[in-house]
Structure 1
Amino acid sequence: MKRSLSGSPAFGVLIACALLAAPHQASAQPAGQTPGQAAAGEAPAAPAAPAAPTGLSESVAAVVNDAIISTYDLAQRMRLLIATSGVQPTQENLPQFQREALVSLVDEQLQFQELRRVEREQKIEILADNAEVDEEIADMAQQNNMSREQFLGFLASRGIGVDTLRQQIRASMSWQRWIRGRYGSRLRIGDDQIAATQARFAAEAAKPQYQIGEVLIDASRVGGMQQAMAGAQQLVTQMQQGAPFPAVARQFSALPTAATGGDAGWVSAGEMPPEVEAVLEQMRPGQLSQPIAVRDGVYILYLRDKRAGGSATLVNLKQAAVALPQGASADDEAAARSKLAALKPQIRDCATLEATAAQAQGVVAGDLGEAELDDLAPQFREAAEKLDIGQVSDPIRTAAGMHLIAVCGKRAAGAGAIDKEQVEQRLFSQQLGMIARRYMRDLRNSATIETR
């Protein structure tokens, strides 16, 4: 349940004025890089964020099940968002920063309350301890080519207390640990799901694939589609002016890929909402999309690369062969065929093919490498089409001799090979992400949240 508190001072206006009026300070970091920025090749960072506002009186910004979030907490989180997203604060986007900061603080308070309840009832420890939080801060500093002291100094120069960062890290680490611990062991990705996904990838291999970065502004989290669309438009404007996409994704995206700076890897038709795919088809590599309205919110896409699909199939083959001239007698052919037929059941897999073949006199084994199916000799192509990965053919007669071929790999041309383990991990992450979002929606709906 949510309701507003009346009679509160206009603290948002005070924070906005202080943020916009404060002078810029020199950066304590490598030029052109902000905390959270991805590797080289991304857009340069926006100008340094303003210094911290001073002289604000502290009051209540929100109450979450009787727990208070102060205006000081809110101002601190706004500064942290500005510093780590690379977005320059303006009169237009400060309301979005304030809204995102308040929503994040409310969600974290709900998470802490839920985790402490679970700890009490189940007599377990879930919350990340100080050592774990310190290790994460050290990792963040290293990712930005700074020492821990330099990183904290950079935040301090923008008026951000270390406790603000520590709380955000502790909440994120603890919540992810709880979600994975509670639901991860229960999630079962069936072989049928994996097979269906692999079949869909194979069927779509002839279609274009896109390497994308993604941001989703969750409409239910920010107060509706209108707010989501307005916020997304402001983020697009800031990224066009230099705010790095990965840093924005980490702070604002509601998708699981936020943890990796919005990197969704290569996607094909059918993996994204239809509204998103329609935009992707028109984009060029290096281009940032305008906001795209979908059922749950608003998408922003960054197209890193694009490749044409291919209908060709690539196969990786090994062989065991007996040299046999084209004019060999029927008896010689029968002997070679019999020798390879006896060898076939002894070949357990591609890794042991050469060693197994070496034990048979007169048999030579080798790796034929990867080739397009259509480029193979007709006898090899016919066998490779029918065989699954790991299977071995019956003896095949060619002009050069008698052969067994083993299919060690098979994939669609133009698409990176995606094995069972990769598919399983992708499906697992998607399902766990949906569970986490539903969990948070349930907590919000059952809570008493009062905001000024």
Structure 2
Amino acid sequence: MRAMISSRKISLALALLVALLLPTAPMPTAMAQSASAGVNSIVAVVNGDVVTRSEIDSRRRLLALSAGVTGDAGAQGGDQILRLLIDERLRIQELSRRRIPVTDQDIASSIANIESRNGLPPGGVVQNLRRAGIEPRVLYDQIRAQIGWARLLRGMLGEQATVSDAEVNEYLNAQRARLGEPEFLISEIFIPVENPGQEAQVRRFVTDVIQRLRQGVPFAMVAAQFSQSQTAIQGGAMDWMTADRFDTAVASILRQMPEGAISNPIRVPGGFEIVLLRDKRISGRDMATLLTMRQVFLPFEGQVNPQAPTAQQLAQLQRAQTLSDQARGCEAMDDAARGSPRPADPGPVRLDNVTPPELRDLLSSLPIGRATQPIISLDGALIFMVCAKETRNMAEANPQQARDILLRDRTELLSRQLQRDLRRRAQIEIRTGNTTRPG
């Protein structure tokens, strides 16, 4: 069976990039004027292609919108944003040289997916970008580079993109031999150090990012924007792994970290790692109840005023109550969810991860095939139904997980090697004021 870099994972990354692209206030006039200043200022030349000051400012505003990085963080991240734009330009040049197509329809499909995932109407992403003073092309360029790079790596892997049954069995046997050892569930951000002279500068940037993460900036958003690891496609998220699967410096830190902690900068070959320890367990023992569910969300037009609901809101509440009283079986929920902004099937749900506790208790005691009473929020009414319950040992790796892990490792290694090669062969000039230096 062929394991591949799935379009679903790419779509997830693109959704992470703009998961906070909800209606926001326009840019203050002073900020807009500042953004337009020096619009034609060239800050780098990459194999003859220029990178301008306005591109850095635009990418900084996109980061601020999607990841919540503002003020001084954006200013301190300018050098790192420039390096990211240079790497992105190198990737786009390589895609062009190898004639890897990324069509306008690919971009449009990704934007539509983002809008669907975030409950935005068609055109909502572009509207919200422009409201924040960001040209849509900034996001389009990032999407184009991500899609094309994934396609390029998939093609370059060739036969290595197929993980054999023997390799899967070898991995699973090795996992069984480690039963009883600690396993770690982490998310990562990898920031490369291109040459030794940049190390102090990159460390300062990484330290600033960690400070912002600890203040509450979403880890997945920053990973999707800044991380140069292939796990950026999933917002930095990795699967359960034992310590020997990590770099030794990372493994040493993980053994000391409490759950939920964000590491200090970890020096690894090629750059710095930032690690979020999401959870840890003993290999082979992680029993959990998994729910197969359906949900129907009936949105209100505008937020509801409990004292004066509109006719549309009353109609939605009545529809929700009727569905709750009459729905029998998950097919009825599928039918009722057609046209809803949220998917009917949220995928397997681990009961002990459900929040708040009141909802967890409700789902735990809910009979199979019986709908909940409507759960009312300011934005709409939500009805749940449990279709099936299963107790499973979540620590047991299955063959598909093994394929995904092995392929991800190969893809990550190839991505870093290719990016280093592109950097080494490139002619890059960095322009600061009246001076020019190699990139």
TM range (shorter): 0.5 to 0.7
- Residues 1:258 and 1:451: Cα distance change in structure 2 (over 3 Å): same
Decide whether the 8 Å contact of 1:207 with 1:308 is kept in 2: yes
Post-superposition CA distance 1:336-389 (Å, at most 9, x none): xxxxxxxxxxxxxxxxxxxxxxxxxxxxxxxxxxxxxxxxxxxxxxxxxxxxxx
Q: What corresponds to 2:60 in structure 1?
A: 78
CA distance in 1, matches of 2:101, 2:173: 41
Q: Secondary structure at the match of 2:143?
A: helix
Deviation of 1:223 after TM superposition, in Å, equals 6.3
- Residues 1:312 and 1:88: Cα distance change in structure 2 (over 3 Å): closer
Q: Secondary structure at the match of 2:180?
A: coil
Q: Which amino acid aligns with 2:82?
A: L
Q: What corresponds to 2:46 in structure 1?
A: 64
CA distance in 1, matches of 2:262, 2:254: 10
Q: What corresponds to 1:419 in structure 2?
A: 398
CA distance in 2, matches of 1:48, 1:221: 39
Post-superposition CA distance 1:377-403 (Å, at most 9, x none): xxxxxxxxxxxxxxxxxxxxxxxxxxx
CA distance in 1, matches of 2:428, 2:420: 13
Decide whether the 8 Å contact of 1:127 with 1:170 is kept in 2: no
Q: Which amino acid aligns with 2:101?
A: L
Decide whether the 8 Å contact of 1:37 with 1:246 is kept in 2: no
Match of 1:134 among 82, 92, 108: 108
- Residues 1:85 and 1:445: Cα distance change in structure 2 (over 3 Å): same
More deviation, 415-424/202-211: 415-424
More deviation, 299-308/217-226: 217-226
Is 2:415 the counterpart of 1:439?
Answer: no
CA distance in 2, matches of 1:101, 1:440: 16
- Residues 1:251 and 1:55: Cα distance change in structure 2 (over 3 Å): closer
Q: What corresponds to 1:106 in structure 2?
A: 86
Q: What corresponds to 2:224 in structure 1?
A: 250
More deviation, 256-265/142-151: 142-151
Q: Which amino acid aligns with 1:114?
A: E
- Residues 1:199 and 1:85: Cα distance change in structure 2 (over 3 Å): same
- Residues 1:107 and 1:148: Cα distance change in structure 2 (over 3 Å): farther
Q: Secondary structure at the match of 1:265?
A: coil
Decide whether the 8 Å contact of 1:48 with 1:88 is kept in 2: no
Match of 2:76 among 67, 89, 95: 95
Deviation of 1:255 after TM superposition, in Å, equals 1.5
Q: Secondary structure at the match of 2:419?
A: helix
- Residues 1:141 and 1:195: Cα distance change in structure 2 (over 3 Å): same
- Residues 1:37 and 1:163: Cα distance change in structure 2 (over 3 Å): closer
Decide whether the 8 Å contact of 1:214 with 1:263 is kept in 2: yes
Match of 1:209 among 183, 187, 198: 183
Q: Secondary structure at the match of 1:251?
A: helix
Matches within 5 A, 1:303-342: 303-309=277-283
- Residues 1:310 and 1:443: Cα distance change in structure 2 (over 3 Å): closer
Is 2:429 the counterpart of 1:450?
Answer: yes
CA distance in 2, matches of 1:417, 1:171: 35
Q: Secondary structure at the match of 2:273?
A: strand
Deviation of 1:54 after TM superposition, in Å, equals 3.7
- Residues 1:275 and 1:303: Cα distance change in structure 2 (over 3 Å): same
CA distance in 1, matches of 2:419, 2:171: 28
Match of 1:280 among 254, 257, 279: 254
Deviation of 1:243 after TM superposition, in Å, equals 0.5
Matches within 5 A, 1:30-429: 36-37=18-19, 51-52=31-32, 53-57=34-38, 58-90=40-72, 94-96=75-77, 98-119=78-99, 126-220=100-194, 224-309=198-283, 416-429=395-408
Decide whether the 8 Å contact of 1:209 with 1:268 is kept in 2: yes
More deviation, 288-297/442-451: 288-297
Decide whether the 8 Å contact of 2:76 with 2:205 is kept in 1: no
Decide whether the 8 Å contact of 1:212 with 1:302 is kept in 2: yes
Deviation of 1:158 after TM superposition, in Å, equals 2.2
Q: Which amino acid aligns with 1:295?
A: P
Decide whether the 8 Å contact of 2:186 with 2:240 is kept in 1: yes
Q: What corresponds to 1:316 in structure 2?
A: none
- Residues 1:223 and 1:176: Cα distance change in structure 2 (over 3 Å): farther
Q: Which amino acid aligns with 2:262?
A: L
Q: Which amino acid aligns with 2:219?
A: F
Identity %: 30
Q: What corresponds to 1:327 in structure 2?
A: none
Q: Secondary structure at the match of 2:239?
A: strand
Output the aligned Cα RMSD. 3.0
- Residues 1:415 and 1:225: Cα distance change in structure 2 (over 3 Å): farther
Post-superposition CA distance 1:136-179 (Å, at most 9, x none): 11212333332343322322222110111111111221221122
Deviation of 1:298 after TM superposition, in Å, equals 1.5
Unaligned runs of 5+ in 1: 1-32, 39-46, 120-125, 314-412
Decide whether the 8 Å contact of 1:103 with 1:221 is kept in 2: no
Decide whether the 8 Å contact of 1:62 with 1:70 is kept in 2: yes
Q: Which amino acid aligns with 1:260?
A: Q
Post-superposition CA distance 1:397-431 (Å, at most 9, x none): xxxxxxxxxxxxxxxx9652222332122111210
Post-superposition CA distance 1:32-71 (Å, at most 9, x none): x985459xxxxxxxx9997543440222111111122222
Q: Secondary structure at the match of 1:264?
A: coil
Unaligned runs of 5+ in 2: 1-14, 288-391, 432-439
Q: Secondary structure at the match of 2:125?
A: helix
CA distance in 1, matches of 2:79, 2:115: 27
- Residues 1:248 and 1:49: Cα distance change in structure 2 (over 3 Å): farther
Length-normalised TM-score, structure 2:
0.63
- Residues 1:54 and 1:299: Cα distance change in structure 2 (over 3 Å): closer
